[in-house]
Amino acid sequence: MAVIGKDIFVAKELLEKGQLVAIPTETVYGLAANSLNARAVARIFEVKKRPFFDPLILHLPCYSKIENYVEYIPEKAKMLAEAFWPGPLTMIFKKKEIIPDLVTSGLDTVAIRVPKHPLTLELLNQLDFPLAAPSANPFGYISPTQALHVEAKLGTAIDYILDGGPCEVGIESTIVGFYEEKIVVHRLGGLSVESINNCIGEVEVMKESVSNPVAPGMLKSHYAPKARVMLGNIEDQLGKYQSAKTGILSFRKNYNTEGKFQQVILSETGDMEEAATRLFSGLRQLDSLHLQYILAEFVPDQGLGRAINDRLRRASAIENDF
Q: What is the CATH number of the domain that holds 141?
A: 3.90.870.10
Task: Answer yes or no: is 16 within a domain.
Answer: yes
Enclosing domain of residue 88: 3-205
Same domain, 147 and 61: yes
Residue 60 pLDDT more than 90?
yes
251 inside domain: yes
Residue 11 has pLDDT above 90, yes or no: yes
Q: Quick one: 194 and 233 in the same domain?
A: no
Query: Which of 205, 237, 252 is the last residue in one of the domains?
Result: 205
Taking all residues of the chain, what is their mean pLDDT, rounded to a whole number?
92
Cα-based torsion angle of the residue sequence 64, 68, 72, 75 in order, rounded to the nearest 10 degrees: 0
What b/e string do you get for 132-143 counting C-beta neighbours within 10 Å, with b at 16 or more?
bbbbbbeebbbb
Q: Which of 205, 238, 259 is the last residue of a domain?
A: 205
Within its chain, how far is the Cα of 150 from the centroid?
13
Q: Is residue 215 part of a domain?
A: no
Same domain (yes/no): 189, 307: no
Instruction: Give the single-character DSSP code of 66.
Output: G
Categorize the per-residue pLDDT at 320 as very low, low, confident or very high, splitting at 50, 70 and 90. Answer: very low
**Do 118 and 37 fall within a single domain?**
yes
Helix 272-287 × helix 304-316 angle, to 10°: 20
Give start and end residues of each alpha helix (H) in the chain: 8-16, 38-48, 75-84, 101-104, 118-126, 147-154, 193-200, 234-238, 272-287, 304-316
280 in the same domain as 133: no
DSSP state of 310: H
Q: Encode pLDDT of 159-171 as tens digits.
A: 999 999 999 999 9
Dump pLDDT digits (tens) for 62-86: 999 999 999 999 999 999 999 999 9
| 116 and 55 assigned to the same domain | yes
Q: For the chain, what is the domain count? A: 2
Lowest pLDDT segment from 140-149, 177-186, 203-212, 285-294? 203-212
Q: Would residue 22 count as lying in a domain? A: yes
> Residue 218 falls within a domain, yes or no?
no
Q: What share of the chain is helix, strand, coil (3-state, %, to 5)?
A: 30, 20, 50
Phi, psi of 268 (to 5 degrees): -65, -25
Query: Among 205, 220, 254, which residue terminates a domain?
Result: 205
Is there a contact between 275 and 190 (Cβ–Cβ < 8 Å)? no
Does residue 221 fall inside a structural domain? no
| Residue 242 confidence (pLDDT) above 90 | no
